Structure formats: C-alpha cells, structure tokens
Amino acid sequence: MRLTSRIIIITTLLVALGGVSVHYHTTYDENWPHPTGDQLQEQGTKTFVGERVLLFGEVQTVNPDVITIHITDDSDNVAAELEVTGIEDRVKPGGVVQVYGVLESKTKLHAGRTVVVNRDPSATIYKLGVSVVGLVLAVAYFFRQWQIDFQKLAFKPRTTKHDPEPEEVHNRG
C-alpha cells in the first residue's frame, strides 16, 4: 500500500477515534447505571438518597466502624464526601475503594459490598511500576522482531534464523 494511502487511512481512523471519544464522553453519564462524579458535582448527593449506588472513592480517614471517602469529578475536584459504614476489608488513607450500597443521607452510605481497589498509595505505585515493566517488555520484544524500513517509512519483520523469510514462513521451528 502506498504511503499516501496509509496516511489517509491513519488520518481517517484518528478522526474516528476522536469522534468516538467525544461520543463516549457525552453519553457516558446517561448510560452508566450509577451516579458519576460529574453528576454528584452538578446535582449533589441529595438527589440519590435512598438509591443503591456504586461509587469509587479515595479514602481520607479510617476509623473502626466508618471510613470517609472523597468522590471526584472528571476534573479531579471533590464532588462528594461520604462517611461509609459496613466496610469489612482493611484499607488505609490514600487507598481507593468501590462501595456498593444504599445512600442513607447526603453524607452517609452503608456499603453492602466493598472492593478495595488500592489498599494504600503504595498499591498504586506498585501497579504503575509493574505496568511500566510490561510496557517496556512489549516494546523491547517488538523491536527485537521488527525494524524500520526507512524507504517505505514502515515497520518490517527482522530476518532471523528462526524466521528466515518472515513474509512467507509458516513454521516457527
């Protein structure tokens, strides 16, 4: 395929990707079955009192029977601060939890079920660090198997003793 054709197709796909990202943003709140951070910011928690909701929040304080969480909107501004009871798992301030339960008042939620996403800030760092290792591994393995063809401005498979003619080979051994 000619370079011009590839550039046209890539541009078209990038525009489509932008369109999908805009549509996803504008329709997410009405399709997600629970209050989002943006909805809590705009309407307040009062609108949802009495409803069974799933919320994601960062843990602020931890006491024996109750924790306090912050739910943020898309701009990372705090949309709601809730006292959550019924937490059975261990969690520390700075951790992230999912809580599923009834919003009993504007500031209180009783969790019927909880998932601790990150037990504390170190869990977030662990996840990011391991993910960077995975990214480096995938990219390194890719460049071990592929190289840039500067004439065609595209990647082509490297010729190796395992894959003497990558365009035609059908057997790894």
Partner 1 sequence: MADLLTHVLLAYAGCTILSWHRPIPTHWIAITMVGSILPDLNRITLIVTNRTFEAFLGVPFDIDALSTLGGTVLLAGIGSMVVTNQHRRTFAALLAGALSHHFIDGVKAYADSAAGTWLYPITWARHPTPSLYVSSDPAVLVAAVSITAIVIVTDRYVIQTK
Residues 103-142 that bind partner 1 (CB under 8 A): 111, 113-119, 123-124, 126-128, 130-135, 137-139, 141-142
Residue closest to 75 by CA, chosen among 106, 38, 39? 38
67: Cβ contacts below 8 Å, ≥ 6 apart:
59, 60, 61, 83, 84, 87, 91, 97
The encoded tokens of residue 51 equal 């409803």
72 binds partner 1 (CB under 8 A): no
Point out which span in 41-49, 64-72, 79-87, 150-158 binds partner 1 (CB under 8 A): 150-158
- Min dist CB 75 to partner 1, Å, is 6
- Min dist CB 56 to partner 1, Å, is 9
Query: In the beta sheet, which residues pair with residue 100?
Result: 54, 113
Cβ nearer to partner 1, comparing 46 with 140: 140
SS3 letters across 94-145: CCEEEEEEEECCCCEEEEEEEEEEECCHHHHHHHHHHHHHHHHHHHHHHHHH
Cβ nearer to partner 1, comparing 50 with 126: 126
Single out the residue of 35, 83, 158, 161 in contact with partner 1 (rule: CB under 8 A): 158
User: Segment 77-96, which members bind partner 1 (CB under 8 A)?
Assistant: none
The encoded tokens of residue 60 equal 């602020």
Cβ nearer to partner 1, comparing 83 with 95: 95
9 binds partner 1 (CB under 8 A): yes
User: Segment 18-57, which members bind partner 1 (CB under 8 A)?
Assistant: 18, 20-28, 31-34, 54
Cβ nearer to partner 1, comparing 68 with 124: 124
Burial call 136-159: b when 16+ CB within 10 Å, e when fewer = eeeeeeeeeeeeeeeeeeeeeeee
154 binds partner 1 (CB under 8 A): yes
